[in-house]
Amino acid sequence: MIFVATLFILAVYPNDLRTITIGLLEDSYLGVSVFVMLTLLVFYGAEFYFKIDLKKFMKDKKALQVPISSMLGALPGCGGAVVVITAYNSGSVTMGAVVATLTSTMGDAAFLLIAKRPDAALFLIPFCWLIGTGFGYLVDIFYHTKFQTLDDSSIKIERLENFSFKYRAYFLLFLPGLMFGILRLSFIELPETLSTLSSLVAQLGILFGLLIWVFSPIKYMTHPEDKAPIRAIEETCFISMWVILAFLTFEYTVYFTGINLESVFRSVSWLLPTVAVFIGLIPGCGPQILVTTLYINGVIPFSSLIGNAISNDGDALFPAIAISPKAAITATLLSTIPALIVSYSLYFLAPNFLS
């Protein structure tokens, strides 16, 4: 609530901060949130309506566990990685599968990259899947999993209420928001009336999103039996909060300090891949979204982003630690090895790649 109140004060404060804040809020909604929502609706909709039991499928297809787990990790967001962690906890997959999914996971930062730099995302996501698959198989050669027989139904995940007013309002704003978001990507000049309407939709979308986030009972993940639109809205609001925080952190740093971050980071460029990789060890999506924001703004090179993407586990690490702490910590530490190798290989061999 304090964060929302502070944001409101900044948005109405009569100086440059107001212009910066409102501009970034609109950009985060029309440039990121609506596309996150669309992706989650497709993903959760397919999962809910087709009743896909991925854990059973992976248990039956042991030879394919690692590439399937890596694919689930590579999907934007953290839901796929949590599926693999719970499968490991119930004795369905190997440690290599866990390492594969946490290695390929970029978490919620993937949504931001897809929205802002689709060319980079088109390379990075399949590449992370490939690295996760290869490293997962390698781990299984040296690490012999002692399968457990625990029941992951004991994991406490809050159920959500029915499609109430707050969800309906957010969904109704999403539809025109998506249209305006697509128009922005197409660089189509809008008439003044439509431009004003676009700003209004974005501001209302952000307002409802923040209120849903503030009063949400969800800590890390939504319940798989909840309706797809509700899951999509809840997780979109959660991701949007981190995107807003990352955007504002970057812009306010530049505004208040006047520091040219690109010049500062360029002076210690050889350290950036290491810093990005170790930031990836921090649980949660906030630090990772900030790293992606720095890349989008041209402050850090692609080699640093890819190191962070391989090492980070996003919000999946929180439920992973709760479900199977030893497996989660082992897997996330192991993922730093390919992260450092790939990051520095790209740094020295192709320093300007996708920069």
pTM across the whole model: 0.73
Domain ranges of the chain: 2-349
pLDDT at 164: 79
Q: Are 100 and 70 in contact (CB under 8 A)?
A: yes
pLDDT in tens, 61-110: 778 889 998 998 888 876 677 778 767 776 778 888 888 988 998 877 88
Helix (H, G, I), strand (E, B) or coil at 77: strand
**Type of residue found at 66:** V
Phi/psi at 107 (nearest 5 deg)?
70, -155
Residue 130: the pLDDT is 95
Q: Quick one: which H or E segment has residue 229?
A: helix 228-257
Per-residue pLDDT at 248: 83
How much is the pLDDT for 197? 92
Separation of alpha carbons 30 and 227, rounded Å: 24
Predicted pLDDT at 216 = 78
Q: Using an 8 Å Cβ cutoff, are 131 and 65 in contact?
A: no
Q: Which residues contact 76 (CB under 8 A, 6 or more apart)?
A: 36, 39, 106, 108, 110, 111, 114, 125
12: three-class secondary structure by DSSP: helix
The distance from CA 226 to its chain's CA centroid, rounded to whole angstroms, is 20
Q: Which tens digit of pLDDT belongs to each residue from 149-169?
A: 444 444 455 556 677 788 889
Got the DSSP string for 240-275?
HHHHHHHHHHHHHHHHHH---HHHHHHHTGGGHHHH
Among left, alpha and beta (phi > 0; psi -120 to 50; other), residue 298 is: left
- Alpha-carbon distance 99 to 174, whole Å? 35
- pLDDT at position 347 is 92
Q: What is the pLDDT along the chain (355 residues), one digit of tens a residue?
A: 676 777 777 777 667 778 888 888 888 888 888 888 887 788 778 777 776 666 677 777 778 889 998 998 888 876 677 778 767 776 778 888 888 988 998 877 888 898 889 999 999 999 999 999 999 999 888 876 554 444 444 445 555 667 778 888 999 999 999 999 888 767 677 888 888 999 999 989 998 898 888 887 766 567 667 788 888 888 888 878 878 887 888 788 878 887 766 676 777 788 899 999 988 888 777 788 888 989 998 889 999 999 999 998 776 676 667 666 777 788 888 889 999 999 999 999 988 888 7
